[in-house]
Amino acid sequence: MSERWKVVIVGGGFGGLSAALRLNSDLVDVTLIDRRNYHLFQPLLYQVATGSLSAGEVASPLRSVLSRQKNTRVWLGTVVDIDPDSKRVFLADGTIVPYDSLIVAAGSQTSYFGHDEWQEWAPGMKSVEEATAIRHKILYAFEVAERLSDPVQRRAWLTFLIVGAGPTGVELSGAIAEIARQTLKNDFRSIHPEEAQIILLDGAPRVLMPFPDDLAEKASRSLAKLGVEVRCGATVKLVNKEGLTIDSGGRTDSIPAKTVIWAGGITASPLGKIVASRTKVESDKGGRVKVKSDLTIPNYPDIYVVGDLAWAADANGKPWPGVAQVAMQGGTYAAKAILRRVKNQPELPPFHYFDKGSLAVIGRAAAVADVFGLHISGFLAWLVWAFIHITYLVSFQSRILVFIQWAIQDLTFSRGARLITGRAPTDFNFNSEVSQMHRMPETKPEPVHALH
Amino acid sequence: MSERWKVVIVGGGFGGLSAALRLNSDLVDVTLIDRRNYHLFQPLLYQVATGSLSAGEVASPLRSVLSRQKNTRVWLGTVVDIDPDSKRVFLADGTIVPYDSLIVAAGSQTSYFGHDEWQEWAPGMKSVEEATAIRHKILYAFEVAERLSDPVQRRAWLTFLIVGAGPTGVELSGAIAEIARQTLKNDFRSIHPEEAQIILLDGAPRVLMPFPDDLAEKASRSLAKLGVEVRCGATVKLVNKEGLTIDSGGRTDSIPAKTVIWAGGITASPLGKIVASRTKVESDKGGRVKVKSDLTIPNYPDIYVVGDLAWAADANGKPWPGVAQVAMQGGTYAAKAILRRVKNQPELPPFHYFDKGSLAVIGRAAAVADVFGLHISGFLAWLVWAFIHITYLVSFQSRILVFIQWAIQDLTFSRGARLITGRAPTDFNFNSEVSQMHRMPETKPEPVHALH
């Protein structure tokens, strides 16, 4: 046989990978195209940024996830265009890939709301490279502060601003607070890392907007206990080398900070606009593609759009959130629909997103969770969180190591992956910055401030 | 008290860190200066390059290693000069650090024997960044080959040349052979990774020159069994984008290869020449500084040079090899000598290098070892190797994880850290290279070649 139904999947994230795994069938030939050779478990990326896990522990090579699935090939490539009429996908290198069914799952990227120039000073949290750069920035900031004697400069290097109080921002600020107050507490001689100021900003009136009020309230209290200062109702006006300017209800404030991290918003992959234009369908202002209730594009029943790139709503008109669960369920749905079509079986009922709940971790062994409508917090919520994440990771690889690592770190407060490697996008230049202000004091190192 | 004896250590490698740890005493103030914030366990770097371990598993932050040692501060900085008469060290950022005793342990770097232009095509194996770049190159080569149909091009992408058959070259080529023949064997659809050609080159007449003949012979046989082609007596004439030209006893050969790795030689850190010139002492052609039998520089009894940067020989005139053991023993010796001086105790006898033996790993669970004159090979040698390395790692951090990881990988042949992140120095450009030659075949993927 040679003419099996050809399915092309664009993107190896939650949506694309779920589809590929569900298409494990002799009836179809699957080609999964991604710019990366790995599937990234985004929800744990903040742990890479804060030195708890290595990149290799939150990402799995797509080839190894799919190696046993003989009908599937993985291609490293960038999709730049599609022709929905001749049913072909175009890669940046000129390769043309024909399809019978296409699943577009290209996902989203960080949005600076029209201020892409902020990216230089406030890296986002979408890729392994960005997470590594953020880790570099955070650890480097303490190194620089250790070398400075000017208290104002030192303060700026020990101020960490996190923009966006969604789950990523909350998790990140909690983790940075723990680094400062626990992990590094004995490591420095001139500074006291626990003096670091960690500020979590959001334009919304409270943290964790998608969560119920009571859990958001609990999360706020946990953050305060960790020493994170939460400023809600604050809009970012400017980000540059010196820090950040915010507008809080008309009042403008400038906060000097050498480390700003952007967990502020996402926008659809640029492929969304291309697909929308080729298929003459609407896209929203975030660049997401309007899909029908079966996740296909109107007039193009062979093109599915799933995950963050899809713009649709449930029966009540409430749009689906941009979370992993929506993408996974969408990918599986598209795969099932394609298999039904190949087998000439009746169509599936419309896609329905089944919301299992939301989770956010705040520091060590604490979390808030809204699971099947049940509101839990504290250590129990953390256990739920750990269980769900480990289960997912283990489903791909022997990720039991991650769990062991967490256990060790929780016992020791240490972080294994605390290396400054490569160059951060806004690398500090010791040569130009330190020289003006500091000579090594001739006195002995001060004793480290005792902690209780 | 304020005037404790000030010891400055340049370099946090095996020599500098051993000295710092030995100087854990109230009698001295220690400042350890390094360009990196971590101590790198070089002997396992090849495992980072081949995706078995993450960088965080072979490196420990210097601060955390020394955090309990209150008399010691760690500074991130680059030493650019010294003034041995006023007893000061100068950093690149303009900082001036005074010392009473100085330990120079700046180590070595990769040498291309006057052909630094080869570095672009043949990265060395000295830093985390280089190891990551090499990993990128190796994994990317398979990805590209999967996309190519031209057999000549494919062959070049599936040819891996390792220059230098010392322990690093042997370990690296064995590991690449295992990646090709085991780890990736089910991952591709168009290529058969086990067709990869792995060639280990050296100008010497045999592999592992510092080892006894019988062990080198055993290593050669193990390499052949893994499918590594060993070419001795071959001198590199040229390295470029297309591959490498060698001269084997007058015959010139060009080998097309897209992946060339340089494990060929080292030279002293540039600081060696500076120290030699300031103290008016000899340095050898590799830039190492001539030291007395107590590891100090003639006329400068307060400057110790240890490790790869020191040029000295034992009583028989045999120079010390550039290995971790020499550096560690030298660092400890210098620290002890300084403490004796501070306490006004009699001087130490001359430094004597105690050679515990040599080890090299060839692939999975096999090694050769010359331990206290005992020649062992195979699994037993591997156990010795694993024991020694684990012991060392554990002495710094809870590195038990590394051992668990090895155990899992040995059972499963998988490699956890197999991600292509960042950019390799010579990143392949899919856009320009693949486009000329390949369109996706319309036929179904070929079944993967069955392995026995």
Instruction: Give B235-281 pLDDT, tens digit per residue.
Output: 999 999 999 999 998 999 999 999 999 998 889 999 999 999 999 99
Closest CA to A108 of A40, A159, A6, A20: A40
Residue A425 confidence (pLDDT):
36
Which whole number is the average pLDDT over A7-27? 96
What is the C-alpha to C-alpha distance for residues A275 and A103, in angstroms, rounded to an integer? 11
Buried b (16+ CB within 10 A) or exposed e, B21-44: bbbbbeebbbbbbbebbbbbbbbb
pLDDT at A448 over 70: no
Per-residue pLDDT of A167-181, as tens digits, reads: 999 999 999 998 898
| Pairs across A and B, CB distance < 8 A | 199
pLDDT at B439 over 50: no
A258 close to A145: Cβ distance less than 8 angstroms: no
A57 is catalytic: no
**Min Cα separation B307/chain A (Å):** 23
Confidence band (pLDDT; 50, 70, 90) for A341? Answer: very high
* Contact across the interface for B433 and A76, Cβ inside 8 Å: no
Task: Give me the residue from B63, B97, B447 closest to A187, CB to CB.
Answer: B63
Per-residue pLDDT of B319-371, as tens digits, reads: 888 889 999 999 999 999 999 999 999 999 999 998 888 888 887 778 899 98
Residue of B nearest to A5 (CA): B444
Residue B445 confidence (pLDDT):
30
| Identical fold, A5-35+77-110+267-342 and A116-264+365-427 | yes
* Contact across the interface for B421 and A129, Cβ inside 8 Å: yes
Helix (H, G, I), strand (E, B) or coil at B331: helix
Listed by start position, the domains of chain B span: 5-35+77-110+267-342, 116-264+358-432
What is the C-alpha to C-alpha distance for residues B275 and B299, in angstroms, rounded to an integer? 13
pLDDT at A412 over 80: no
Between these two residues, B438 and B374, which has the higher pLDDT value? B374
Task: Give me the residue from B132, B188, B431 closest to A92, CB to CB.
Answer: B431
Per-residue pLDDT of A158-214, as tens digits, reads: 999 999 999 999 999 999 998 898 888 888 888 888 889 999 999 999 999 989 999
B267 close to B111: Cβ distance less than 8 angstroms: yes
**Min Cα separation A410/chain B (Å):** 13
Confidence band (pLDDT; 50, 70, 90) for A222? Answer: very high
Joined together, the tokens standing for residue B228 give 């590594």
The CATH class of B116-264+358-432 is: alpha beta
Residue A65 confidence (pLDDT):
85
Per-residue pLDDT of A275-296, as tens digits, reads: 999 999 999 988 999 999 999 9
Write the CA distances from A297 to A334, A349, A381, integer angstroms.
12, 16, 39
CATH no. of B5-35+77-110+267-342: 3.50.50.60
What is the C-alpha to C-alpha distance for residues B418 and A300, in angstroms, rounded to an integer? 38
Q: How large is the ipTM?
A: 0.73
Beta strands in B249-342 (DSSP E): 251-256, 259-262, 266-268, 289-290, 296-297, 300-305, 310-311
Strand A266-268 to B374-377 pairing: unpaired
B12 close to B103: Cβ distance less than 8 angstroms: no
Per-residue pLDDT of A18-28, as tens digits, reads: 999 999 999 99
What fold is seen in the domain A116-264+365-427? Answer: FAD/NAD(P)-binding domain (3.50.50)
What is the C-alpha to C-alpha distance for residues A193 and B329, in angstroms, rounded to an integer? 34
Residues of B in contact with A56 (CB under 8 A): 51, 54, 416-419
Residues of A in contact with B47 (CB under 8 A): none
B359 close to B369: Cβ distance less than 8 angstroms: yes
Residue B28 pairs with which residues in a beta bridge?
A: B5
Chain B interface mutation, best of A73, A138, A436, highest count of B Cβ atoms under 10 Å: A73
What is the C-alpha to C-alpha distance for residues B395 and B389, in angstroms, rounded to an integer? 10
What is the C-alpha to C-alpha distance for residues B271 and A71, in angstroms, rounded to an integer? 57
Residue A249 confidence (pLDDT):
87
What is the C-alpha to C-alpha distance for residues B149 and A443, in angstroms, rounded to an integer? 68
A334 close to A347: Cβ distance less than 8 angstroms: no
Joined together, the tokens standing for residue A220 give 């706020």
Residue A283 pairs with which residues in a beta bridge?
A: A289
Residue A409 confidence (pLDDT):
54
Our CA dihedral for A110, A112, A114, A119, rounded to 10 degrees, sits at -100
Exposure on the CB side of residue A205, measured as CA atoms within 13 A: 1
Confidence band (pLDDT; 50, 70, 90) for B163? Answer: very high
* Contact across the interface for B445 and A64, Cβ inside 8 Å: no
* Contact across the interface for B37 and A94, Cβ inside 8 Å: no
Confidence band (pLDDT; 50, 70, 90) for A397? Answer: low
Residue B395 confidence (pLDDT):
63
What is the C-alpha to C-alpha distance for residues A201 and A207, in angstroms, rounded to an integer? 9
Which whole number is the average pLDDT over B201-213? 93
pLDDT at B434 over 70: no
Q: Which residues contact A35 (CB under 8 A, 6 or more apart)?
A: A76, A77, A78
Residues of A in contact with B69 (CB under 8 A): none
